[in-house]
Structure formats: C-alpha cells, structure tokens
Amino acid sequence: MQESLLDILIVGLLVLVFAVIQRRRSMPRIRYWTLGWIFVLLHFTAQIAVQDVAWQSVLGVSALLLAGCSFLIASSDAIHDPGEAMIAASLLGVPPIAYLCLTVYGVSTVPVLVAVALVGQLCMIYVSLRYWGADRGIVRGNMVIALLIMLWIVYEIRAGQAILGVYGTLTEIFAINAWFYWRDFRRASAGVLTAVLGLLAWALVFPAALVVAAWWPHLHVSSELWNIPKYFVEFGMILTLLEEEIQAANRTSEDYRVLFENNPSPMWIYDLETLRFLRVNDAAQHVYGYSEEEFRQMTLMDIRPQEEVPRMLEDVGLEREEMVFSGPWTHVYKDGRQSKVEVAAHTIHFNGRMARFCLVVNVTEREELHQQLLYQAHHDLLTGLPNRLLLKDRMQQTLTRASRQDRRVAFVCIDLDRFKQINDNYGHLVGDQCLKLVAERLRRRLRGEDTIARSGGEEFVAVLGELKSRQDAYRVAEDLLYVFHEPFLVEGYRLELPASIGVALYPDDGTDASDLWRNADIAMYRSKKSGGNRFTFVSDEISSAAAEANDLELMMRTALKEGGFEVYYQPQYLEDGTLCGMEALLRLHHPRSGMILPDRFIPVAEDSGLIMPIGNWVLEEVARQFMAWSQAGLPQVRIAVNVSPLQFMHSDFLGHVQRVLARSGMPAELLELEVTETTVMRNIEEIARQMRELAALGVHFSVDDFGTGYSSLRHLHQLPIKTLKVDRSFVERITETNGTYSIVQAILSLAHSLGMQVVAEGVERKDQFEVLKALQCDVFQGYLFSYPLEAGAIPPLLETQTAGIR
C-alpha cells in the first residue's frame, strides 16, 4: 500500500513536470508523453482504489496498454492530427483490452481468444503500414515482432494461461517504443540512452516476471523493483527534453555568434551604465579603425562629436525592448573622418549586466542625397537662390524676429523690365546667363541676414530685416536699383537690363507675409507702368486697393460655398426684334455695396486662382437653368458663356465641358463659349486643339470685344469661330464724325467674308441701331433692347420670342 502511494506521488510529480514543459513549449510529442504518464498514474491508482481483483487487473493493465499506445503515437505521423491519433489509439488499444477482459472474466474458448489476439496483431501491422509505411525496415520489424508475440499468446492459450498472453502485448508495445525512441533522436546522450534502456527494461519486465514465477516460485520480488524501468523512462524523457533545450540554445547562440562576427555591418554591445564597449564585431573594427582591445577601452562618447552627446545621452536613457532605429547620428572614425549612421538597438542582459545591442547602418550617401534633394526643393536650380517655398519660410522667420525686436522689415519685389526682348533677340542661353549675373549682383549687394530669392521667370524678391526706419528702406531700394545701372556683359554682348522695384514695409503696409508680398507686387507693377527703372513704395492708395482685393477674394470664397453668385441673362435680338440668344453675365452680391459687376471681381479671381471654380460653377449653373426652362416647355435659344483665359488654358477644361453637357443633357449646339482675342492668341496651338474638339461636339465659339486686341484674321480663320462681337467702344462712337463707322464697317465686311456672324454689343441708342442695321449687322445686344435680367424674368421673353425696341 505504502509502495503504491509512493509510486503515485513520484509519478504525479513527474506528470506535473511534463505538464509545465508542455505549457511552455507546446509540442505534440510532449502532449502525448504527458498523456501516457497520466495513464501510468491511473495504473498505480487502480491498485489502491479498486478492491475487486478482476476490475483491478482490467483497469491497471489497460492503463499500461494505453500508456504504451500514447508513447507510440508520439513517434508516429498521427501526432499532428487528433482524429488520426484517435484511430491509432483505437486500433492499438481496443483488441488487447478486449482480450484482457475475456481472459479475466473466464472465457477460455481457444478459437475466440486466438481470433481476438490475431486481430490485435493485424491491427498492429496495419498501424505500421498506415503511419510508418514509408520506412520498410519498421514495417518488416513490426511484422516479425507481431509474429513472435502471436506465437507467445497462442502458447499461453494452449497452456491454459491465456491471461499471460497480455504480457506478450505489453512486451511488444514497449519494445517497439524503445526502437522508435532511438530512431527519433539517434544520439548516445544520457537522456536518450536512459529512456531507451528504460523502455527495453520495461518491455522485459513481463517475460522476466514469468521466468521468475516459473523457476523460482517461492522467490518474492518487490513491486518497486519491477517499477524501476518506468522511472528510468520518465527521467530519460525529461533529460531528453532538457538536452533538446540545451542544443537549441547552443544552436541559437552559434547562429547569433556567426551573425555577429560575420555581419558586414558594424555591431557592438555596450554597457548601459558606463557606456563602455563590451564587445564589437570584425566589421566595426574594420570600419572604425580601432582594434577590439582599443574598443574595450572606449565609451560610446568617444565616437560621437561633442555637440551630439546630449541628444545621445537622452537616447540611451530610452527603453528599447524591441529593435528600434534611431538617428541619423554622426560617428567619428579613428582617422578623423565622419559619417552619418542610423543605429538599431535594443536592451539585453550580457554577462550579468544591462547592456544594449546595436547594429549600425551607414546612411551617409542617403543623407547626402536627401540634403541634395532638400536643397533642390528649396532653391532655384538656375541661380542657386532660394525659391518661393524657402522664401515663405524665411519671410515668416524674419517677421517673427522683427515683431519681438520692434523693427521694420522691407519686402522688395524686383522685375526685369526688358528681359523678354533679350530672350527673343539673343536666345535663352544668354537670358539664363543674365539671370545668373543678376542673382550674383543682388546677393553681393545684400547683407548676410537678408534673403534674396527668385520667385519665378525674371522676378526676384528680397526680404530685408532689422531696419530701424523707413529711410533705411529707401536707401536699400536705391542700392538695389543701382545694381541694374551697370550693363551686363554676356557672351560678348553689352546688355542694358533695367528693373522695376516695389517695396512694402512691415508693419506699415501689412503684418501678414502674404499681404506684404502682394502689396510689394502691386507697387512693383506701378513702377513698371510708370516706365520702369524705378522703385515705388506702397502708398495708402495701393494699400486700400490691396485691402479691397483681399475683401473681394474672401467674399468670393464665401459666395462659392454659400451661393452668393448669381447669373443674369442679357437677351440678343435679330433686326426684326426676334429673340435669338442670350449672354450669361455673372454677378456677385456684396453685403454692403449690393451687386458687384465682373469687371471688379474677375481680375481678383484670376490673381487668386478662384477663376477656375467660379468659371466651372457658371457653366454648370447655365446648363442647369437651360434644362429647367426646356423641361418647362419653353423655346430653346443659344446661351453664350464667357470663358477666362486661365480657365481655357486649364488641362481639364475640355473634359469639364463634356461632363457638364453629359450630366445636364443640354444640347452642345445651344452652348456658345465666348473667348477674348487675348485668349485666342495666347497659345494658338493648344487653344485650336481644344476648340476643334468642342466644336466637333457642336459647341459654338465667339470672339468677344473684337477689335480691341491684336488677333490675326488669318489665325481666326483657322479656328472654328462662328461669331465676332464688336466691342461696345466701337458701337458707342459709330454715329460721331470721325468716329468708328469705318472700323465697324471693315469688321462686318471681313467677318461676313469669312462666313462669320457679327453681334454688336452695347447698343444703347436708336441711331446706333439704325446705322448698324444699314451695315447689315446680324445680331444686336444692349440696353436699347433689354438690360441683363434675372433668370426668373426670362420665361416671358422666351414665350413671346419677340421684343419691341424702346
């Protein structure tokens, strides 16, 4: 009894050890080993807990059989599939347990017992084929063992001791386990040899017990002696697992050593407390020029420039549980050279102390490329001056300093007056050289704390900080203008290149960088309009104009969001008074001034970039309103929409018009796009391409304010233009002596000869109408016929289709 309790205690503790190992490593082999030892524990428990001898035999021996089956499954392919493991356990365990039950409960019929035993051995052979079929040696060996065990069982049955045949099955299972255990590990280690010898001894216990009982019947052998092989097996398995852990650790350690020593990148380990190098690899020694002994006498600060030490100490204090890149850092080599590096580091325990493992990656070339790209992104490639992006940053910094120090700042816009003629006459190479010389002269003229930038084309901007008074700004402006008095010598040419300069002062002319820049730009254009080669300071008038432009820009942005724009329509009539078309005219509602006309807000929209969304909205609104009138059953007439040059030059203008027509359903032939002569001539090839593609859809084109620009009739003839609109300035003086009669007559004659229709704008008096009618003008538009009307006033006109002349 006490011996069984001791066995239960020992096996129970060892099962607990296996369970802990299984939880830590979670391997299928350990799982089935643990299950096997649980069955061994049940074997010992049955000897104490079950009093009935028959039941005790059935439960105890069955537990041993299942323990052996679990060990076998741990060495089979069924280990990874619970379903296959259950099949294997059933095939190996059910027949011998059935045989055991028959013999324990007195069944002695020889054919029955032999049949059950034979089924058990056939199942053993089938399991060998199913799970070890690829290894012919195992299959043949198991067949031989099965044959021998079958002979043993038959012998015991014929001898009237059928129950002893169960010993044969136990011997078979544990002998095969010993064979498989060696096959799985194949090393003569203490753990493997202990487990293999223990399994062999366990297999031999059963025939040995029969021999002792037969030859020395009066000899009493303690059950503890028979249980010794079990403990050998259990301790051998635990030792095997420990050996596996040690081998894995050694392999990992060797892998790390090889990786550390042979890595082409510098690697080291340093003490977190002293920052002293504890270990370095060959690459670190080669790259940095120090030997391993020299490294061990150094700290991390010895390879860093002094200015980086505070940041380095801050970085060292950070926890690094995982490998994290930091940097870029500057490292100093033994020969004094420096390089930019990034360091991947994490905290480890090394020789009993807290240390940091580091991998160093040289990023010098990448950083140089980054700096180069950064320079190119912030500087003009031709002159090397700051570009607009860097200029804005410098402007903001200068304003911030001036605000703190109560100083003035001058924003100076410089535009070269006759640069286009130099490009046209001498070529772009000479022009580029001129820009380089201008940049150099300006750079030399200014102080180190000032900024001179090229803002685009032939325009430069200077930011002059720490000025004490307005007089300082005057003197600087004079100096800058003097830069251009001396001719520029380029490629043997002596070139005069005057400039127009505009100056805005902080805080007098504005406190915001964008406002100051805009005011200086306005002042510069005042210089240019005054003949150039001079400088102009921002006046109250200019500041007022800039403020009004800012108000208008803000108002237009709000109007786009909240519906502050409205489209009016001015009818167009034939000679007999028939309504034949309309022109869409945009209006802006001002909260104080009321309705604002386009001539005030369109220039601001073009300068601010709002012209694109505003133009798109007008086109969409006209198409929507047209379809609303059409769906109401009203007659359809062509509607003309003014298109800004910037709008027409946009790459997506063609696509936008197509999308608007497609979404609204408005017929393309009833949409007329009005362009100015300037628009047509700005980029004739691109304009012609877009116009032809839209004309192919049916869109009509007209040239607005004809006669005020510089268009060529030859070019107009090449474009799909259907209508010319005579500017109101010509119509206004058509009846005057020495007026514009002959000009209008020439326009009408030329237009009709080119097959174009003519619309007279600004017809306000009946005598003008009569003269135009006599000249065979086609269409008339003006206050004489109708003022521009709200959309709601148009349906009555469309219903009547005619209007009298007032």
CATH of the domain at 764: 3.20.20.450
Handedness of CA 127, 132, 134, 136 (dihedral sign): negative
Do 670 and 745 belong to one domain?
yes
Domain C-terminal end among 471, 505, 538: 538
Do 202 and 302 belong to one domain?
no
Q: Is residue 256 part of a domain?
A: no
User: CATH code at 305?
Assistant: 3.30.450.20
* Interaxial angle between packed helices 540-562 and 611-631, expressed in degrees from 0 to 180 and rounded to the nearest 10: 40
Residue 703 to residue 725: CA distance in whole angstroms: 6
Strand order of the sheet with strand 499-506?
A: 451-456, 459-467, 408-416, 499-506, 534-537
Do 325 and 423 belong to one domain?
no
Nearest to 359 by CA among 339, 342, 347, 344: 344
Residue 524 to residue 513: CA distance in whole angstroms: 16
Do 322 and 433 belong to one domain?
no
Burial 109-118 (b: 16+ CB within 10 A, else e): eeeebbebbe
Q: Is residue 568 part of a domain?
A: yes
Question: In the chain, how many domains are there?
Answer: 4
Q: Which residues of the chain have pLDDT under 70?
A: 1-7, 220-224, 252-255, 258, 317-325, 539-547, 593, 678-683, 707-715, 801-806
Domain C-terminal end among 247, 278, 293: 247
**For the chain, the helix, strand and coil percentages under 3-state DSSP, each to the nearest 5:** 60, 20, 20
Do 229 and 292 belong to one domain?
no
Helix extents (H) in 418-562: 419-426, 428-445, 470-482, 513-529, 540-562
List Cβ<8 Å contacts ≥24 apart for 93-97.
93/62, 93/65, 93/66, 93/69, 94/123, 95/119, 95/120, 95/123, 96/65, 96/120, 96/166, 96/169, 97/58, 97/62, 97/65
Q: What size, in residues, is the chain?
A: 806
Quick check: 432 and 438 in contact, CB under 8 A?
A: no
For residue 113, the one-letter residue type is: L
Nearest to 723 by CA among 760, 764, 767, 668: 760
Q: Is residue 428 part of a domain?
A: yes
Do 208 and 284 belong to one domain?
no
Q: What do you get for the CA distance between the two ends of the chain, in Å?
A: 132
Q: Is residue 257 part of a domain?
A: no
Report the half-sphere exposure of 557 (CA within 13 A, side-chain side).
Answer: 8
Q: Is residue 254 part of a domain?
A: no
Report the half-sphere exposure of 440 (CA within 13 A, side-chain side).
Answer: 8
Burial 575-611 (b: 16+ CB within 10 A, else e): eeeebbbbbbbbbbebeeeeebeeeebbebbbebebb
Q: Is residue 552 part of a domain?
A: no
- Please name every residue paired with 409 in a beta bridge, in sequence order, or none if there are none: 506
The residues, any chain, with a CB within 8 Å of residue 596's CB and separated by 6 or more, are: 552, 587, 588, 589, 590
List Cβ<8 Å contacts ≥24 apart for 695-698.
695/720, 697/658, 697/661, 697/668, 698/667, 698/668, 698/669
Residue 731 to residue 772: CA distance in whole angstroms: 8
Do 213 and 351 belong to one domain?
no
Do 773 and 714 belong to one domain?
yes
Q: Is 52 left (phi over 0), alpha (psi -120 to 50) or beta?
A: beta
Q: State whether residue 409 is helix, strand or coil.
A: strand
Q: Is residue 775 part of a domain?
A: yes
> What integer pLDDT is reported at residue 767 of this predicted model?
94
User: CATH code at 384?
Assistant: 3.30.70.270
**How many other C-beta atoms lie within 10 A of the C-beta of residue 743?**
16
> What integer pLDDT is reported at residue 804 of this predicted model?
40
**How many other C-beta atoms lie within 10 A of the C-beta of residue 294?**
15
Domain C-terminal end among 247, 279, 295: 247
pTM exceeds 0.95? no
Quick check: 70 and 93 in contact, CB under 8 A?
A: no
Quick check: 477 and 520 in contact, CB under 8 A?
A: no
Q: Name the residue range of residue 386's domain.
A: 379-538
DSSP secondary structure of 666-726: --GGGEEEEEEHHHHHHTHHHHHHHHHHHHHHT-EEEEEEETSS---HHHHHHTT--EEEE
Helix extents (H) in 263-405: 282-288, 292-296, 309-316, 364-378, 388-405
Residue 603 to residue 645: CA distance in whole angstroms: 11
In the chain, what percentage of residues exceed pLDDT 90? 26
Residue found by looking up tokens 């694109």 in the block: 612
Phi and psi torsions of 26, nearest 5°: 50, 60
Residue 463 to residue 461: CA distance in whole angstroms: 7
Do 98 and 181 belong to one domain?
yes
> What integer pLDDT is reported at residue 803 of this predicted model?
46
Q: Is residue 233 part of a domain?
A: yes
Give the tokens for residue 214: 């037969």
Give the tokens for residue 246: 């040690």
Nearest to 61 by CA among 163, 209, 211, 190: 163
The three-point CA angle 402-407-411 to 5° equals 70
Do 459 and 573 belong to one domain?
no
Q: What is the pLDDT of residues 215-228, one digit of tens each?
A: 877 776 666 677 78
C-alpha pair distances (Å), 125 with each of 119, 378, 508: 10, 81, 104
Helix (H) or strand (E) holding 536: strand 534-537
Do 197 and 53 belong to one domain?
yes
Peptide bond into 603 cis (omega under 30): no
Do 562 and 434 belong to one domain?
no
> What integer pLDDT is reported at residue 547 of this predicted model?
65
